[in-house]
Structure 1
Amino acid sequence: MPGSQVGIGLSGAGGRYFSLSALYLFIYYGFGAFSPLITQYYNSISLTGTQIGLISAVAPVVSIIAQPMWGLFCDRFQIRKTVLILTLVVSGLVGLFFIGTSAFAFVFLLYLILSFFQSAIIPVSDSLALGYAKKNGLQFGDIRLWGAVGFALAALVTGLLVEKLGPSVLFYSYCFALLIAVLLVLRVPDESQETPRFRVGMLTGMRDLLRMPRYLLFLLASFCVLGAVNANNIWFSLFYQEIGGTVAGVGLAFLLFAGSEAPFMKLAGMIVRRWGLELTLLLAAVFGAARWLWYSSAPSTTLVIAMFFVQGISVGFYLATSAQFVRENTPASLQVTALAIFFSVGGGLGTMLCNLAAGWIKDSYSTLGIYLFFGIITVIGIIPLVMIKFGPWKQRSFDEDAEVTQ
C-alpha cells in the first residue's frame, strides 16, 4: 500500500538521522573525555610545559600528512564507512595503552600512533553527514550539534571522575565511547555511491584544490582560527586553575562551553540563510579573537563561566559552517580530500604552531601569555575571511564536476 511505503520511508530516514546524530554524540564524547583533561594526566606524570607542547604538536604534525592521505584514499575507493570503523577501533584501543605509562618517550610514541588513526575520524564522519544533509535538505549544523552535546557531557562527567579516581578514567571513557560509535557507523548511510568518482591522480587532485582562491584563503583563515580553538582544549585546564579554578571546575566549564555550541550550531543555519556563510564565519572569528584577548587579562573564574555562551558564538558558528563552506566551494568528487586538507591545516598546522608556541610561552612567561598569543593569531585569521567576503573571487558551481571526473 502506498501509505505503508511512505511510513517505512519516513521511519528509515528518521532512523538514519538518529544514527548520525548518535554517532556524533559518541565520537565527541570520546574527544571530550580526552582532550580537555589530558593535561591532568601529563601533570600526574610530571611532564614540563615544553614536553606537553611537543606531545600536543604530534597530532597536528601527523594530521598534515595523514588526513589528506585518508581523504584521497576514501575518495578513490569510496570506502568511507570502512575507514571510519577501522580508525575508530584502533584509536579507542590505543588510548588504553596510556594507562600506567609515565615515560615521556613512550607517551610521545603512543600519541603519534593515536594521532595517525584519529586524524581520519572527523573528516570522514563529516563527509558522511554532509552527504546525508544535502540529500535530505538539512543543515549540517543540525547533525553536528550533537557532537557539541557529547563533548560537553564528557567534559563534565569525566572531569568529576578524574578528580575522584585519577587521570586513567579519561582513557577508559575515550575507548568506550569510540567503540560504541563503531556500532552506530553500521547504521549510517553513505551517499558516496551517488558522488562522482575521483578519477584523477592524487597529487593532481590536491593541486586542483589548492588553485581555488576561496578555498585557499579559507585554509589560511582556519590555520589561525582553528589552531587557537584546538590548542585551547589542551591549555584551558592549566589556565583555569591559574586564575583560581579547580579540576572539577574545568569539567563544569567545558560542559557549559561545549554545551553552548549546540544551540548556536542550530542557530547558525538561520544566520547562514539570512546573511550567508561568509558573514557567519567572520562573526565567529571576531568573537573568538575577543574571547582570547579577554582571557589574557586574567578575568575571574566567575566571569569566565558566566560568559560561557561566547564559545557557542565563536566555535559553534565556525564549526557548523566551515564544513559546509568547504563542500560548497570544492568539487563533490574531492569532498573528503578537501575536508581532510582543511582539517590538516586548521587542526594540524595551526594547532601545531599554537601548541608549540604555547608550551614555550608557559615556560617563559605564563598561561595568560598563551591566550594573548591566541588572540593575536585569531585576529590575523580574520584577514583572509574579509578577503573571501569582499574580494573579487566569486563562488563557483561544482554541481556537474565535469572537469574532475572526465
Structure 2
Amino acid sequence: MIWQFYLLELLIYIPRALFSFIGNYFNQLHFSDLQNGLLGSAASIIILISNPFWMRFADRKIKNKVLSFVAMASAILIWEVYLFKNFWIVLIMTFTVGFVWTSILPLAESISITHLNQHGFSFGKARMMGSIGFAISMIVFGYLKNDVIFFLIGSVTFLLIGLTALFLIPKIHGYNVGKQKIKFSFKNLPGEFYRMLILETLVISSGNFGLYFFPILMKSRGEPVSFAGIAIAIHALSEVPFLFFADHIVTKLGVKKILVIASLAYGIRWILTWSVSNPILVISFQALEFFNFIAIYYAIWHYVSSNIKPQHRSDAQAIFWVITTGISAIFGYIVGGWVSNAFGVKNGYLFFGILSICVAIIYGLYEYSKSIPSLSKQNNF
C-alpha cells in the first residue's frame, strides 16, 4: 500500500504553498518590498543550519519520529508570525518557526523515496500529489481574505503531517542507524554534483523570486490577487505530466541535458511574464513549470538517489535541500527584493529571466566541453 505516501506528499506541500503566498500577508502589513524579501529569506537562511542538523539527527534515528516532532512544533510556532506586527519581531519569529518547518519536506521525501524505491514504486508518481496539494492551496489562498484562517490552515496541516508520520507511514530508519558515525566531508561527493548545485542555486533563485513576488506583481498591474493564486496553481498542476513520466524522461535525456533545457525554459518564462501585461497570457505562461523547477529538482534528486553511496546520501540530500530551499531562496528573495525596490517588481522578472538563460548557456558549454574527450564512454549528456 502506498496511499500513505500519496497522502504525505499532498500534505507537505500545503505549508510550502502557504509560505510561498505569505509575502502577500506581509505586503498587507505595509512592509516594503525589501523587507518582504528579507522576511521571505529568513527561513532560507535558517535552513543552512536547520537542514543539516535535522537530516544528520534523523539519519541515526527512526525518521518518522523526527518528522513528527518538527511538524508538531511548527503547528505551534507558526502563530508567532501572526501575533506580532512589528517588522523586526516578525523577522525573529520567522527565523524561529523556520528552524523546524523547513526540514519537514526533505525529511518526508527522504522517507518516501527510501520506502518507494525498496518496493519498486515510482517516487515521481507519489510526488504528483505534492503538486496537486500545492495547486489547490494556492487557489484557496488567492481567494482567502481572513488572515486567521490562513494561519489556521498552516497549523492544522502541520499537525496532520505529524500524525501521518507517526501513525500511518511505515517506520523508516536512517541510513546510518547502528553504524559508526561517518564525518561529513565535501570530498565524499563528486564534483559534477557541485556543478549541478551551482546551476540550481542561480536558476532556482529565479523561481523563488517569481513565485514569492507574483501576488505583488499582479497588484502592481491592477489585477486581483486571486489571479496570482490561479497562476501559481497552474504552475503546480503543470508539474503533474512531468512527474508521471519523470523516470522515463531522466533515462531518455540524462540529468545534465534536463538541467540545461529547464534553465532555458525558466528564462523564457520570466521574460514573457515581464514583457506581456495581458493577465490571461501571463497566467498561461506559468504552465512552463512543466519543465522548470520540477525538472531541475527531480533530475538532481534522481542523481543523488542513483549516484551517491548510501552512507553519504543523507549529506548529499541535506546539501541539496540547503541549496533548493535555502541559498537559492536567499538570493531570489533578497536580490529580487532589492531589484524590485530599485527598478520595480516587473523588472525583477526580466533580471532573473536573463540570469537563467546565461547560466544555462555557460553550464551547457562547460559540461559539453568536458564530455568531448570521452563521448564514447558517457551517455549522460
With normalisation by structure 1, the TM-score equals 0.85
Cα deviation 1:244-298 (Å, max 9, x = unaligned): 4211212211221111112221122221232223323332222112111222224
- Which residue in 1 is equivalent to 2:28? 44
- Which residue in 2 is equivalent to 1:4? none
Match of 1:259 among 217, 237, 246: 237
- Per-residue deviation, 1:98: 2.4
Q: Which amino acid aligns with 1:58?
A: A
- Which residue in 2 is equivalent to 1:296? 274
Cα deviation 1:138-188 (Å, max 9, x = unaligned): 3321111111100000111122123xx3x3322111111121112211222
- Per-residue deviation, 1:120: 1.2
Distance in 2 between the 1:386 and 1:139 partners? 32
Distance in 2 between the 1:57 and 1:346 partners? 12
- Which residue in 2 is equivalent to 1:335? 313
- Which residue in 2 is equivalent to 1:234? 212
Q: Mark the CA change 1:243 to 1:390 in structure 2 (over 3 Å): closer, same or farther.
A: farther
Q: Is the contact between residue 51 and residue 321 of structure 2 (CA under 8 Å) also seen in structure 1?
A: yes
- Which residue in 1 is equivalent to 2:173? 192
Cα deviation 1:324-375 (Å, max 9, x = unaligned): 1222232212222211111112321121112111111121110112112222
Q: List structure 1 runs of 4+ shifted beyond 4 angstroms.
A: 193-198, 385-390, 392-395
Q: Which amino acid aligns with 2:86?
A: A
- Per-residue deviation, 1:194: 7.1
Distance in 1 between the 2:190 and 2:179 partners? 17
Count of matched residue positions in the alignment of Structure 1 and Structure 2: 372
- Which residue in 1 is equivalent to 2:56? 72
Q: Is the contact between residue 30 and residue 177 of structure 1 (CA under 8 Å) also seen in structure 2?
A: yes
- Per-residue deviation, 1:190: 4.2
Cα deviation 1:46-67 (Å, max 9, x = unaligned): 1111211221221221111221
Q: Is the contact between residue 236 and residue 289 of structure 2 (CA under 8 Å) also seen in structure 1?
A: yes
1:19 and 2:4 correspond:
yes
Q: Is the contact between residue 54 and residue 355 of structure 1 (CA under 8 Å) also seen in structure 2?
A: yes
Q: Which amino acid aligns with 2:165?
A: V
- Which residue in 1 is equivalent to 2:345? 367
Q: CA RMSD in A?
A: 2.3
Spell out the pairing of 1:79-94 with structure 2 (5 A cutoff): 79-94=62-77
Spell out the pairing of 1:117-196 with structure 2 (5 A cutoff): 117-162=100-145, 165=146, 167-186=147-166, 187-192=168-173
- Which residue in 2 is equivalent to 1:349? 327
Distance in 1 between the 2:107 and 2:127 partners? 13
Q: Is the contact between residue 281 and residue 321 of structure 1 (CA under 8 Å) also seen in structure 2?
A: yes
* Structure 2: segments with no counterpart, 5+ residues: none
Q: Which amino acid aligns with 2:149?
A: V
Match of 1:30 among 15, 22, 32: 15
Q: Which amino acid aligns with 1:143?
A: A
Q: Mark the CA change 1:190 to 1:387 in structure 2 (over 3 Å): closer, same or farther.
A: farther
Q: Which amino acid aligns with 2:49?
A: I
Q: Mark the CA change 1:60 to 1:99 in structure 2 (over 3 Å): closer, same or farther.
A: closer
Q: Is the contact between residue 175 and residue 311 of structure 2 (CA under 8 Å) also seen in structure 1?
A: no
Q: Mark the CA change 1:240 to 1:130 in structure 2 (over 3 Å): closer, same or farther.
A: same
Distance in 1 between the 2:178 and 2:220 partners? 52
Distance in 2 between the 1:239 and 1:200 partners? 48
**Greater displacement, 51-60 / 293-302:** 293-302
With normalisation by structure 2, the TM-score equals 0.90
Query: Matched residues, percent identical?
Result: 23
Q: Mark the CA change 1:286 to 1:133 in structure 2 (over 3 Å): closer, same or farther.
A: farther
**Greater displacement, 41-50 / 146-155:** 41-50
Q: Mark the CA change 1:157 to 1:273 in structure 2 (over 3 Å): closer, same or farther.
A: same
* Structure 1: segments with no counterpart, 5+ residues: 1-13, 396-406
Distance in 2 between the 1:112 and 1:70 partners? 16
Q: Is the contact between residue 237 and residue 250 of structure 1 (CA under 8 Å) also seen in structure 2?
A: yes
